Structure 1
Amino acid sequence: MALFGSKTKLPDTPAAPAPKPEVVQLAPVSTIRAEDRERLDAVRNRTADTLFRAADTFGPADPAALSSDAFRAEVNNAIRQTLQADPQAGFLKAADREWLINDLTAEMCGFGPLEPLLARDDISEIMVNGTGAIHLEIAGSMVQSDIRFRSEDALQRIAKRMVDETGRRVDTSSPICDARLKDGSRINVTLPPIAVDGTILTIRKFRKERLTLEQLVAAGSLSPEAMDVIAVIGRCRLNILISGGTGSGKTTLLNCVSSCIDERERIVTCEDTAELQLQLPHVVRMETRAENAEGTGEITMRQLVRNALRMRPRRIIVGEVRGEEAVDLINAMNTGHSGSMGTVHANDPRLALSRMEALIRTAKGYEAVPSLNIKRDLADSLDVIIQTEQLITGKRVVTHVTDVLRVEGETITTEDLIVYDHARGRHVGKGQLRPSFYRVAERYGLAERLAAALSALNMNAREP
């Protein structure tokens, strides 16, 4: 008898090998001969070491003290003088010398080899794993670039510079840091020894152009009818929880839904790292703060949500619910702040509710609260759960729009209004025409639009 049940005959033909990531060439092309590559690297490392040791001779330690152009010009001139004084740099042709000067200037003044990647709007994620190849997400697909850092010291220097510009810190005593760049990009830095194979730097970039629900339709993330339903939900001040995995498009969808909100409403947002780009004129943004070197000064998400309640908000939006702030968000939804929203990491709407219950239990005093009580609070507060997913192809889609109903027995009952049919690649209805919030849509004059969209989706379900 087999140890784990009956024996299964393995197929004669081995499985196809897993596809490897595409390698894309993004680094500036040097004309240097292969046999001179080692000499070039030696000159580059020697020049960089010389300049960093003598940084005070060509400018202040803080580049912000001079305008960016003036500081770069000064650094550029110092690099030229250093190369000119190096007898071992004589083999460099003029084009290679300029390539090296630009490369070192970027490292001394900016973000080194990351600068061209940060400038591209089609790159959504930059993943640096030590001094190895830098991996990117482009148009939903993971690719491997030919760009890399010349050394661990250079990588740490750039990572720390990024963090320093945000007013936060990362060092051996505090080796993990989340921060936000001036352009809105979110960064995470993890230093050794926590990062075993060298510094890990992950950058989540956001499009400079703010997406709309119509653009999500054009991208295939939504159907026009599903867009209409979500637009009604956003306009009618329903409490919304957007659920999905990492990188599934939760924040993007939340930004798009915000375009449906009445511009006269005052919105207060609470985030760990500010990345929401709400398309509204009256938005107040708050961001958590890590403790300082003395271990004081921390501002938690729960403090932000509680403070938001005192700021006369019409709606409160929590960028990501992942702790005890779930209690205050649910209470806000249930005490006059209808239309509040948040995102949570979960793989389907049912798991999103379970996740919220688990997060509520992390709050002091809620550990022993009966599960039924928490479920009732969730059912009374939440109106709709919208689920997002990134498909194998890289495309991000809304997979569920789910109506949260009531508690029956020990379970929160829900009803899917819209689901994404993976086999047919389209959004379909589940037969409902009058969801629980239909009366609310009537008060806003949107009931006909809601019913028409759901009717069309239901027809899609019956079509082959």
Structure 2
Amino acid sequence: MAVFKNFTSTRTAPVPDGEAPRTATGQAVLPRRSQIKSILPQRGSARVSPPVTDRTAPSAATTSWFQLKQKMHENLLEQMNLSIIDQVDTAELRREVNAIVLQNLEDEDVSLGSDTFNRLINELMDEVLGLGPLEPLLADPTISDILVNGADHVFVERKGLLERIASGFHDEKHLLRIIDKIVSRVGRRIDESQPWVDARLPDGSRVNAIVRPCAIDGPSLSIRKFSADKLTMDKLVAFGALSEEAAIFLAAAVKARLNILISGGTGSGKTTMLNALSSHIDRHQRIVTIEDAAELQLQQDHVVRLETRPANAEGRGEISQRLLVRNALRMRPDRIVIGECRGSEAFDMLQAMNTGHDGSMTTIHANTARDALSRLEQMVIMMGSELPMSAVRSQIGAGIHLVIQLNRLADGRRRITSISEVTGLEGEAVLMQDIFAFTRKGIGEDGTVLGHFGPTGVRPQTGDVLAAAGYALPADIFRDAEGPN
């Protein structure tokens, strides 16, 4: 089929996004061939034709809509030179897509209304330039997580609660193509030999994907979105995640360069809290961040971001967090920030905290502050060293100053449940005391968890350290005066 047959040479004025070019008489026309050839491939280019889907088409017409979109998408991919598509202006590319689709609809003798045509163009643009059915979900500010359990099951999280939505994926191949598009952008791969991968989107959103044979029911994709509106400590206080007094204490702790461990379960807000705390770091200090998949969004100018690398197909070339921590120590850092401690790098992190890199921070998966310290012990043991447990606990007692525990409550809200101080060792036991804590009071009629977050009445031993650093805090901040939260 000749895609560009019967095109008119009538010059057209620029048109708004989503509208087809038209002649002076109002008839839809195609642009000149010279406007299109810049993205056409050479003859004999390989044809790529993944399926395309629709998220909003009426159920009675779903099959025909899928087929139409798939055919239009196949034709676009057949005619476009995808290797230079990123060099074409989006508005110009949209006009060219409009023209090609109009010609194909004419050849197929298909008539579409203006709204339907615009929807078709929008979804084809998402497929060509973006992540297809994921694009509207990524653009929705109310969605914090996108969970794809196979091509037919898509869930999103809004305000801490999960809900199922209509799947926008046509089949497993379509989902696999989107996953491959995500991971290839950051130089990673996913296939049967490496069936899972951690990656990130350009905006910093965290991505995890796993495919067959490990994913029995088909590819699974999890996206933890990062809000474009950065959450500061003031905003966390306004949302009720912690009290104003606790925010003042934490700000002073970061400025005074206390070492902080942020603990919590999956989706409890650990990375958000780490980003918020980092805003109090002096902008003149050199910060080195180390992550499996880069997602921290520090606001300082002097930041060096390091990211791990998985092994290649031959099992070589892996760069672990531990190797990066060791390298970071040679980079003259003022502070080291590890996105998440999950293995033997915990030992090197403790070493750094005990050898002059004060003010370092990291996160860890644990249900309580006490469990967080136990997990640190286990990670050091996993390293395979023969260090006695007393030496490990001594490192923890001397290196960690504060443990911030976060939890996702039953009503979906994320909040700090305790801020604990590590006070040292007694025998072989690491001692801790809660400075601030959340006390649950019950469940409201609307399902909201009721409770009070405030000081426990214990004055922290680190108060002298804060005062010496010029951040003396009034005693009222730590006075136990329970009130409404």
TM-score (norm 1): 0.86
> Cα gap change, 1:115/1:97 in structure 2, threshold over 3 Å: closer, same or farther?
same
Higher mean C-alpha displacement, 215-224 vs 202-211? 202-211
What is the distance in 2 between the residues matched to 1:156 and 1:74? Answer: 27
What is the distance in 2 between the residues matched to 1:317 and 1:375? Answer: 21
Q: Would the aligned equivalents of 2:151 and 2:167 in 1 still touch at CA under 8 Å? A: no
Q: CA deviation at 1:76?
A: 4.3
What is the distance in 2 between the residues matched to 1:302 and 1:127? Answer: 30
Q: Would the aligned equivalents of 1:152 and 1:198 in 2 still touch at CA under 8 Å? A: yes
Q: CA deviation at 1:62?
A: 6.0
1:421 aligned residue? 439
Q: CA deviation at 1:409?
A: 2.3
**Cα deviations by residue, 1:208-243 (Å, 9 ceiling, x for unpaired):** 122111100000001111111111211111111000
Q: CA deviation at 1:190?
A: 1.2
Secondary structure at the counterpart of residue 460 of structure 1: coil
1:347 paired to 2:367:
yes
Secondary structure at the counterpart of residue 146 of structure 2: strand
Please, which of 230, 233, 242 is the counterpart of residue 250 of structure 2? 230
1:51 aligned residue? 75
What is the distance in 1 between the residues matched to 2:278 and 2:317? Answer: 32
Q: CA deviation at 1:67?
A: 4.2
Secondary structure at the counterpart of residue 198 of structure 1: coil
Q: Would the aligned equivalents of 1:71 and 1:109 in 2 still touch at CA under 8 Å? A: no
Q: Which amino acid aligns with 2:149?
A: N
Q: Would the aligned equivalents of 1:131 and 1:151 in 2 still touch at CA under 8 Å? A: yes
Please, which of 350, 358, 373 is the counterpart of residue 330 of structure 1? 350
1:13 aligned residue? none
1:239 paired to 2:245:
no
Q: Which amino acid aligns with 1:382?
A: I
1:371 paired to 2:389:
yes
Q: CA deviation at 1:124?
A: 1.3
1:431 aligned residue? 457
- Using the aligned pairs only, state the percent identity: 42
Q: CA deviation at 1:144?
A: 1.8
1:11 aligned residue? none
**Cα deviations by residue, 1:350-395 (Å, 9 ceiling, x for unpaired):** 100010001111214x2x3221211111111111101001111111
Secondary structure at the counterpart of residue 434 of structure 2: strand
1:159 aligned residue? 179
Q: Would the aligned equivalents of 1:230 and 1:257 in 2 still touch at CA under 8 Å? A: yes
What is the distance in 2 between the residues matched to 1:401 and 1:444? Answer: 20
Listed as ranges, the gaps of 5+ residues in structure 1 are 1-26
RMSD over aligned Cα atoms:
2.2
Q: Would the aligned equivalents of 1:323 and 1:359 in 2 still touch at CA under 8 Å? A: yes
2:289 aligned residue? 269
Please, which of 82, 105, 111 is the counterpart of residue 83 of structure 1? 105
1:3 aligned residue? none
1:453 aligned residue? 477
**Cα deviations by residue, 1:8-42 (Å, 9 ceiling, x for unpaired):** xxxxxxxxxxxxxxxxxxx8654x5x544433333
Listed as ranges, the gaps of 5+ residues in structure 2 are 1-53, 442-449
Runs of 4 or more, structure 1, over 4 Å off, are 27-30, 67-73
Please, which of 113, 122, 135 is the counterpart of residue 142 of structure 2? 122
What is the distance in 1 between the residues matched to 2:84 and 2:392? Answer: 51
What is the distance in 1 between the residues matched to 2:124 and 2:295? Answer: 31
Q: How does 1:173-212 map to 2 (within 5 A)?
A: 173-212=193-232
Q: Which amino acid aligns with 2:243?
A: S
What is the distance in 1 between the residues matched to 2:315 and 2:95? Answer: 40
Q: Which amino acid aligns with 2:472?
A: A
How many correspondences in the alignment? 424
2:418 aligned residue? 400
Q: CA deviation at 1:93?
A: 4.3
What is the distance in 2 between the residues matched to 1:35 and 1:211? Answer: 43
What is the distance in 2 between the residues matched to 1:414 and 1:272? Answer: 30
2:305 aligned residue? 285
